Structure 1
């Protein structure tokens, strides 16, 4: 399919105009759209976990089957990430994101129609594959729209969407499920996603083609490697992906993201079941307590992004400023094991909030990817590292489902997640090395 790009706007005497005019703030409007899209992304993928207790009872599904349903999303998502990143590099964030949004929203709707394990499984596979272009599109848009000194903050804002959707909407979705049945949750979230896909396609453009951007903001964005160079992109072949994997920076971020993402997957899949079945909390308590860890993770990603940019402005190297949150956050994520040694539900939630706060800090790896990606392959590099992270979307649900099915409790599953976090800390601290732009 041939994609026809709009021509950049012509601005008379652009250089002198940019020197005197006040920069517009369109990049923050774009960032707000990325945030909404990411919230929707994670609300849709988390909806199954929210309704899992009632859905599994209604369809007579055991823990192994629920683990397989959670993992189906991650498996399809992982396989589709490289094609999704390539699609983003070819057609741009505008079209790639619009297609992804409408596709995964339709797959979300079909989950509400499911009357068997196999139909749910097919819907989860489709949803995982269709969400794949989302984060490469996020990374490409942020790289194009924000200068280096703001990129950490911008990254933290859209990544924050992973966490704030659950505390904001879980109560509402639980009420919808209670009042109208678990199927209505999928109908509501899927319908909103289709609507937002139209909003995105209508409103988003790259900076040079956006009618509301003035020359001063374009100049500001372009300062300090604010967007990838215009080096011509070579014809794609799969050897480029394998070549990228030969760089220790890419390998280290892949391993670190996988380990850090293990905690995120737990909170977006088995967390509600853990509170209800392992901690025997009522739905009222679950509605209150489940929000706290997600609020902690939201704070973690915002603190990490803001401090990372602050240290860069103060003269700290980009490498040190971007690596510190990865090492500290992934290490502290291992504190999740302490819930195995306390009885108080309030203390359990406090520990889980600290662990998820740390996971949010460690999620700053997206900013590190933006610093090392070859200019002409931002989407592909993002997809490779995201693929590694989302292997955890397959292994974590299956691991927890298998362990809890055979042992009847979460003890060893939580201990294993703590050990995985320690492995990620070693990857970021010993293998990653200095962050620098890869030139192919």
Structure 2
């Protein structure tokens, strides 16, 4: 994995590109507040609306199905029109879906709201990776994506105090809370339209920084069809890894509040410290995974070596999940889950950096879309099977957690078999 020749990079210059990371960080935070709010409110809504585990599983599955299919459309849209227009459309759609939760009452109407939310939110990561490929060279890209990816957990952490602010401090009910927090999406849309552009059009990047951003080998500028993307083994290497590992994150996102409520009788929207600890640990993993991969490349290792070794290290960090189920000490469970989340986020930051390594910029969002589709399908299967397993076992998570620990190593093996060298796809 370390046999490729590496190219010496020019000297770094300027810092404006990191303001784009800040903008994407804010966008990711809003995206995950909107995505996570239902999971945090689920224990209360189950009591109020009479849901069982399978009902909630169907609601989560509806999101996953829409999220999966939405990736295919959004990936194409963002490659066709660019991240500024494509992501603006995505923000509008998911904000409408988020607000629609406030008008839902039945399982079917919640499923419908989650479908709209899922389609819009599917545009987020294709936009993030496409924008990162425009603003950062290969040697720095994973670190930048790691910072942006860390905002997923900041969004999760901030969901609980956001809910508390509106429901406890302001006295809103859950319906009003969904509706009012739709303003976050409106504000984000305004910021994105105002602040985002590519480096050459921004007018704020020095020539030295522009040279650093563009120092990777030049690409041919051409439209790349969807059929050309899906015909490559490299696209399926990424997609297979997403299919295997995304469900673990979705499991934690949608079922963790329920796990703590049922196992430790702790409501994570009230008792915030466990969630803060777990997701701050995951932030360390997200940034650390991107840093490690980028640092290995900067020290002369091949991209292939750096990405795959980092992925293996990240997978090892997920193994503590094996010991969580049955723990009586909640704080030990918090620590082990936090380490596992850090492993997942390190893997995710690294994985999201692979499509720009292998594909031209005009195909990156489509490849991310394909991977997101496969990840969504995997998440849908996980959501439905989790509900059924919990109903069948009386809420026992042992089998579910055990299955999560092996997926990362299978994903690395799949990547290596389909793309042994992570070679650049030149014939697309």
**Does TM, normalized by the shorter one, top 0.5?**
yes
2:375 paired residue number: 389
Post-superposition CA distance 1:92-130 (Å, at most 9, x none): 111111111122111100101112211111110111112
Q: Deviations over 1:358-377 (max 9, x none)?
A: 11111110111220123431
- What does residue 15 of structure 1 align with? none
Q: Distance in 2 between matches of 1:210 and 1:284?
A: 41
Partner of 1:240: 228
- Hey, what's the Cα distance between the residues in 1 that align with 2:270 and 2:76? 44
CA-to-partner distance for each residue in 1:38-76, whole Å, 9 max, x for gaps? Answer: 111111111110111112222211111111111211111
> Which of 128, 131, 154 is the matching residue for 1:141?
131
Distance 1:193 1:343, change over 3 A: same
What is the deviation of 1:341?
4.4
Alpha-carbon distance between aligned partners in 2 of 1:136 and 1:341, rounded to the nearest angstrom? 38
2:413 corresponds in structure 1 to: 426
Local SS of the residue matching 1:154: helix
Which residue in the other structure is 1:222 paired with?
Answer: 214
Give yes or no for contact 1:255–1:427 (8 Å, CA) kept in 2: yes
Alignment RMSD, CA only?
2.1
Closer, same or farther in 2 for the Cα pair 1:326/1:390, shift >3 Å? farther
Q: Indicate the residue corresponding to 1:12 in structure 2.
A: none
Query: Structure 1 stretches of 5 or more lacking a match?
Result: 1-18
CA distance in 2 between partners of 1:142 and 1:433 (Å): 24
Distance in 2 between the 1:188 and 1:285 partners?
Answer: 20
For residues 54 and 342 of structure 1, the distance between their equivalents in structure 2, rounded to whole angstroms, comes to 24
Which runs of 5 or more structure 2 residues have no equivalent in the other structure? 1-9
- Structure 1, residues 275-299: CA drift from partner, whole Å, max 9, x if none? 0112322558742112222111110
Q: Given the two structures, how large is their TM-score scaled by the length of structure 2?
A: 0.91
Inter-partner Cα distance in structure 2 for 1:230 and 1:197 = 31
Shift of 1:431: 4.8
Residue 6 of structure 2 aligns with which residue?
Answer: none
Please state whether the residue corresponding to 2:272 is helix, strand or coil. helix
Q: Which moved more, 1:122-131 or 1:382-391?
A: 382-391
1:157 is aligned, of 147, 151, 155, to 147
Query: Is 1:298 matched up with 2:286?
Result: no
* Conservation of the 8 A alpha-carbon contact between 1:334 and 1:422: no
Q: Is the 8 A contact 2:229 2:363 kept in 1?
A: no
Q: Which residue of 2 aligns with 1:198?
A: 190
- Distance in 2 of aligned mates of 1:367 and 1:241: 17
4+ runs of 1 displaced by more than 6 Å?
none
Aligned position for 2:199:
207
Structure 1 position 254, deviation (Å): 2.0
User: In structure 1, what is the equivalent of residue 339 of structure 2?
Assistant: 354
**Alpha-carbon distance in structure 2 between the residues aligned to 1:311 and 1:51:** 42
Change (3 A) 1:419 1:324: closer
CA change 1:111–1:383 in 2 (3 A) is same
Residues in 1 aligned to 2:313 and 2:419: alpha-carbon distance in whole angstroms:
14
Q: Does 1:400 align with 2:392?
A: no
Q: Which moved more, 1:208-217 or 1:262-271?
A: 208-217
Tell me: CA distance 1:358–1:224, structure 2 relative to 1, closer, same or farther (3 Å).
Answer: same
Aligned 8 A contact 1:327 1:428 in 2: no
Are the equivalent residues in 1 in contact too, given 2:33–2:158 (CA < 8 A)?
A: no
1:34-433 alignment runs, 5 A limit:
34-178=24-168, 179-225=171-217, 229-234=219-224, 236=225, 238-244=226-232, 247=233, 249-282=234-267, 286-363=271-348, 364-409=350-395, 410-428=397-415, 431-433=418-420
* CA deviation after TM superposition for structure 1 residue 321, in Å: 1.0
